[in-house]
Structure 1
C-alpha cells in the first residue's frame, strides 16, 4: 500500500481494530485506495502500528466480510471491486458505517443531537 497512512490512537475509546477498519474502509470507498491495490500483510501493518497481529487480523476479517478487500493465498490482500452504484448502498454496510461514526462521536462526548447535527452538516457539504 502506497500513499495514505493508517494511524491508531491507543488512548481512544474506539478499539484499535475498529480504527483500522474504519480508516481503510473510508480510503477504499472514496477511491483513495483503488481496486487491486495491495495492502500490507497483517504482520507488517501490526509491526508498523505497534499492535498485536490479532488486532489487524480482526480489522481485515471485517473488511473482507464487508466485501471491501480480498485475501488470496499467494496474491496477498487486495482492495476488492466496489459494488455497482446502480444496485444502491448495501444496507448492512451503511448501518456498519453509521455505528462506527456514532461510536467515535460518543467517544468524543457527543450526544445524539450533536451526532445528528454533524451528519446533517456533512450531508450538506459538497463532495
Structure 2
C-alpha cells in the first residue's frame, strides 16, 4: 500500500488483487488470504480489506463464503486485452499532458528500438 497515494486503501487493495487475477497470478479456485490475515499482514483495519473483497466480489472476480474462505472466480484476461487496456491508458495519460499523437508514436518507437 502506498500511503502517499490519495486513493483509498480499500481501492488500492482491490486494484492490486484484480490486476493479479487478470494477469494470471491466481488460478481459478485459488484461495485468497482471509480478511483478518490480509489486514494483519498489511497492518490495516479488517473493514478496509472486507470492503476491497466486497468490491472484488461485486466485480465477479472472487467469491467469499463464510467458513470456506474467499476463492478466485475469474480466469485471467487474454494478454491482448491487457495490452490494449494498458496502451489506451498510456495514450490517455500522454494526451492529458498535452502530447500530440505523433509524439506519442515517436516515444513508443524509441522505447521499442
TM-score relative to the length of structure 2: 0.67
1:112 has 2:112 as partner = no
What secondary structure does 1:71 align onto? strand
Q: 1:83 to 1:24 in 2, by over 3 A?
A: closer
For structure 2, list consecutive stretches of 5 or more residues without a partner in the other structure: 99-103
* Residue 82 (structure 1) aligned to one of 75, 81, 99: 75
In structure 1, stretches of 5+ residues that fail to align are 1-7, 95-100
Aligned mate of 2:6, from 8, 13, 20: 13
User: Over the residues paired in the alignment, what is the CA RMSD in angstroms?
Assistant: 3.5
**1:9 shift after superposition:** 1.3
- Count how many residue pairs are aligned between Structure 1 and Structure 2: 96
Structure having the higher Rg: 2
Task: State how far apart, in whole Å, the 2-side matches of 1:84 and 1:11 are.
Answer: 30
1:112 is displaced (CA, Å) by 2.1
Corresponding residue to 2:66 among 41, 55, 73: 73
By how many angstroms is 1:33 displaced? Answer: 1.1
Q: Cα distance 1:49–1:112, how it changes in 2: closer, same or farther (>3 A)? A: same
Question: Cα offset for 1:111?
Answer: 7.8
Q: Which runs of 4+ in 1 moved over 4 A?
A: none
Contact 2:10 2:51 in 1 (8 A): yes
